[in-house]
Structure 1
Amino acid sequence: MSEQTGEVTLVQAVAIEVGLIVGGALFSLTGVAVGIAGPGVVVAFVLAFSIAILGLVPTAMLGAAFPTTGGNYRYPARFVSRPIAFLAAWGLGVSMFGGGLPLYALTAGQYVDAIVPVAPTLVGVLLLSGFFVVNLVGIRPAATVQLVMFVGLIAALGSFVVLGVPAVETANLTPAFPSGAIGVATAAGVLYFVCLGANFVVDIGGSVRDATVTIPRSFAITVPLVLAVYVGIGLVAVGVAGTDALAGETLAVPAGMFLPGPLQSVFVVGGALFAIATSINAVYIITPRYLAVLAEDGLVPSGLARTNSRFDTPHWGLVVVYALSTAALLSPLPIAGLGSLLGFGGAFLVVPVMAAAIVVGRTRAETAESAIGLPAQSVTAMAALAIPCNLALLGLLAVQSPSVFALWAGLLAAGGLYYVFRTRIRTRAADSVHETPNS
């Protein structure tokens, strides 16, 4: 399973992780979460991140011990169950193509529209098209673009927090928990995928330089950095705008209340647009590798793993990502619905990966400990706790958006039927090859 000939450095890995975490979901779903939890959104961020960390540590252990491509599929397929691993990957695909990428692209359009009147959907299509082209020419230029945008993103978000703190009104932060613990937990479910993205770096483990060391180090840098930024942004956004003004809105609302005109434009470009762009770019980097791994297992057509002879990139896989996400962008689902759809796949994906971490921790304790530097029992306990936490968040999201959940569950069931059909066809083909004619 190990693949150690990667080109992605530690800094680039951090940039990819931050791009996956700090993306369009932060800028669009913070307002949705505020509408649910009010000022309690700050605690919701911490809760969502805490649950995400429970899964990040075991994932880092797997990534360091068994660096590979498509790790979030390969680990449960190897150590737990291939059908369950496929369903998790399928569910994530539905969430990412139907929720994640269109959410990011549409949110980008809304932020641009706040500066220059333009159709948000048009901006979204242009972004999806642009990063489709960037990724066609290889992971190295895509990772370099990611790093440049990462620097601008951190600078913009840091400026938002630093300049916004003096404008915070304490009256806007009370009552702290207007909807109680259930509201905070539900908001954490909405924000969960906003905090989850770092674990997807294991899906490009085969492209990460010295992955056994780089992956856990990158997590150690990314997690505290992003948590500090999130808490600061939540505090400033609610403290400046108040719950009523921010509920269901984007971060452009509080930014417009304390940032002067030129800095608002900087925040939109360097903050919102770079956050969204880094997420879109990171998904383009990672998703085709899922398709290539599934193609190796015979679960999707082999053509999806075919690479371009000039750039060595999975062009057909990228075409699938681009086509499905663009189609979903043109669908009538609202932002809140897209966010919930994104959360379903993220929470579900973690469960079989955590089960794989438990198996490794119990059967290969020495490998687990050497990979992450923590006792195998601790990593196993975190993985075991992460499973019910993720299932609970999935349930809260389902209650919050029952119709969207029904759609996702129906498509997940369709994926199960597809798996049965695909594997039976392959089994029959294999049997026919081995049959000998009657003499």
Structure 2
Amino acid sequence: MQNCKSDPAQAGLKRCLGLRETITLTVGTVIGVGLFTVGANVVGMLGPATILATLAAMLVSIYPALLYAEMGAALPFSGGTYQYASLGLGRPFGMLAGWNFIISMVSVASGEALAFSFYLRTLLGALGIELPLSDRWVACITLVVFLLLAVRGVEMTGRLQNGFLFFFWEVAAVWVLSLLPSLTGGGPVAVPDPSSLTPSGFLGCVCLIWWCFAGFETCCAMGEEIRYPQKNLPRALFLAPFLVFAVNGLFQWALVALVPGDALGQLATAAAPYAEGMRLAGVVGFPLVLLCAGIAFGGDFSTLNAGVSAPARYLYTMARDGAAPAVFGRLHPRWHTPAAAVAVIGGLMVLLVGTGSIAYIASLSLFATLFYYVIGIAAACGLRLHKPDLTRPYRAPLLWVGAPVSILIYLVMMTQLDPFAALAGAAWSALGLLLYALCRRGKRGAEIALPPLPPPPGPEESRKMDRSFRRWAWVVAAAALLVLGLNLALLAR
């Protein structure tokens, strides 16, 4: 972690995060509740064909990630899609995008807290300890801890994120190695639910798996706290979809190879599918404890750590721009974090934990995420039209082909969601527009002032950053290709 530097053009946030923290905050937000809950439920529907849904989910994430790389490098300030849409499409669209990003990330963190409680209960049960609290209480207590950490400062957040995610990766590697003697090597494995291979069924599975990729642009929300964002933001976004694919594919391969073929269908409704899969395979003891520890204290904690911090930055930026109550635009006098915004975000998370339903939370998050991505992709087009002279350290190719196709794909995916969750998302959007109208009442629509870009790195620093990125790129590419090969071999047998 480099020394923090305040941006003199902004209101006190510190640029503390390098490439490693930018990657781990982004990937840590994504690798968690989706992979270990609804994403793993898809294994109970598709079996070894799950890799096809995962590959499709990655492919529909790549081009939007390139658009966010362009916008993030050109506008590396707190707020992400809110800022991009406000400048490219107008303030009301910015409000809709930011407001839906907030409820999406709130949903992710709430679901993650519940998932943590499920796996913690399994972990303690394997050690012969009964957890005396309900899952909802455990989830709420966990959220409070991470809310306090978010107030403590972004430097603390970045350091913890590195620790959580690297712990998760190390435990995942040991877990897979410990399971190798138990992985099935013979006979074909059928698709547990053949209806999932119909066009409609497969699209629904892709949507559930795509929740494991949603949030790939989280680093953009913290653009004002990233060092040399002109380089670090695009590079993190280039790698994120492939890194998420590698992790998801590895765990899916292990689950399909572990669970007896005739029992795979039971994973479709399991609350903790990986723990249930090990039970079905008769694998308990150290591997089960290791798995639950890695998921709970690595994957779940990394998502909670980033999922609490990012939406607070959106609310802070919206308040600073007059689109939300001004109290949320204040920084903590000592730690320079949006403490009031963190507090209200925490309240929303506790309310969603109260539903106790990860399936409902996932649907709400998917609606909001797909909606704000549609706005964000359209914002990239708007910025090209209305801000042609904007300095763009990176420029996405084929904008007028890739952007419309991506919007169409995401709109089609929205048709697969729970109608009640979609209705709740629409009501949330209407509330956001009402709040925006009240906060902007009587205020003139002055053009948004763009602060100058922070200075680029010097020659020596650039060489160090280039070497670091090349290492990351080679490792991620090798991991993605290895995981793809393992899964295709399992599918072909």
Q: TM-score over 0.5 for the alignment?
A: yes
Determine the C-alpha separation between the residues in 1 that align with 2:294 and 2:419.
Answer: 35
Output aligned runs, 1:366-381, within 5 Å. Answer: 371-372=393-394, 376-381=396-401
Output aligned runs, 1:427-438, within 5 Å. Answer: none
Determine the C-alpha separation between the residues in 1 that align with 2:112 and 2:88.
Answer: 33
Letter in 1 for 2:163: V
Matched, 1:54 2:63: yes
Alignment check: 8 A CA contact 2:97 2:371 kept: yes
Residues 36, 395 of structure 1: alpha-carbon distance in 2 compared, 3 angstrom cutoff: farther
Determine the C-alpha separation between the residues in 1 that align with 2:102 and 2:384.
Answer: 28
Determine the C-alpha separation between the residues in 2 that align with 1:204 and 1:100.
Answer: 17
Cross-structure match for 1:245:
266
Cross-structure match for 1:292:
316
Determine the C-alpha separation between the residues in 1 that align with 2:405 and 2:120.
Answer: 41
SS in 2 for 1:195: coil
Residues 336, 307 of structure 1: alpha-carbon distance in 2 compared, 3 angstrom cutoff: same
Letter in 2 for 1:63: G
Determine the C-alpha separation between the residues in 2 that align with 1:427 and 1:365.
Answer: 24
Determine the C-alpha separation between the residues in 1 that align with 2:173 and 2:370.
Answer: 28
Report the more deviating stretch, 344-353 or 229-238.
229-238
Matched, 1:90 2:108: no
Letter in 2 for 1:127: T
Which residue, 428, 434, 439 being the options, matches 1:422? 439
Report the more deviating stretch, 407-416 or 49-58.
407-416
SS in 2 for 1:110: helix
The offset of 1:304, in angstroms, is 0.8
Query: What do residues 5-36 of structure 1 show as CA deviations (whole Å, max 9, x unaligned)?
Result: 61101111111011111012211112333355
Alignment check: 8 A CA contact 2:149 2:156 kept: yes
Letter in 2 for 1:112: L
Cross-structure match for 2:142:
127
Instruction: Report the RMSD for the aligned CA atoms in angstroms.
Output: 2.6
The offset of 1:384, in angstroms, is 2.5
Output aligned runs, 1:336-347, within 5 Å. Answer: 336-347=359-370
Report the more deviating stretch, 419-428 or 54-63.
419-428
Residues 11, 38 of structure 1: alpha-carbon distance in 2 compared, 3 angstrom cutoff: same
The offset of 1:165, in angstroms, is 5.7
Alignment check: 8 A CA contact 1:69 1:204 kept: yes
Alignment check: 8 A CA contact 2:152 2:335 kept: yes
Determine the C-alpha separation between the residues in 1 that align with 2:186 and 2:440.
Answer: 59
Determine the C-alpha separation between the residues in 1 that align with 2:397 and 2:388.
Answer: 8
Report the more deviating stretch, 129-138 or 359-368.
359-368
Alignment check: 8 A CA contact 2:84 2:379 kept: yes
What are the ranges of 5 or more consecutive residues in structure 1 without an aligned counterpart?
429-439
Output aligned runs, 1:164-179, within 5 Å. Answer: 164=179, 167-168=183-184, 171=187, 173-175=189-191, 178=194, 179=196
The offset of 1:176, in angstroms, is 8.0
Residues 174, 212 of structure 1: alpha-carbon distance in 2 compared, 3 angstrom cutoff: same
Cross-structure match for 2:244:
226
Determine the C-alpha separation between the residues in 2 that align with 1:292 and 1:140.
Answer: 18
Matched, 1:196 2:219: no
Query: What do residues 406-430 of structure 1 show as CA deviations (whole Å, max 9, x unaligned)?
Result: 22222222323333333335469xx
Determine the C-alpha separation between the residues in 2 that align with 1:322 and 1:106.
Answer: 14
Which residue, 233, 253, 262 being the options, matches 2:286? 262
Cross-structure match for 1:18:
27
Cross-structure match for 1:110:
118
What are the ranges of 5 or more consecutive residues in structure 2 without an aligned counterpart?
1-6, 125-129, 446-493
Alignment check: 8 A CA contact 2:32 2:295 kept: no
Query: What do residues 385-419 of structure 1 show as CA deviations (whole Å, max 9, x unaligned)?
Result: 2111111111112xxx1222222222222323333
Alignment check: 8 A CA contact 1:24 1:272 kept: no
Cross-structure match for 2:453:
none
Alignment check: 8 A CA contact 1:70 1:293 kept: yes
Pick the structure with more helix per residue: 1
Output aligned runs, 1:271-310, within 5 Å. Answer: 271-310=295-334
Query: What do residues 116-162 of structure 1 show as CA deviations (whole Å, max 9, x unaligned)?
Result: 23222222112101111111111001110111111111112333445
Overall identity of the aligned pairs, in %: 23
Determine the C-alpha separation between the residues in 1 that align with 2:17 and 2:324.
Answer: 27
Determine the C-alpha separation between the residues in 2 that align with 1:295 and 1:235.
Answer: 45
Determine the C-alpha separation between the residues in 2 that align with 1:134 and 1:5.
Answer: 16
Which residue, 74, 90, 111 being the options, matches 2:83? 74
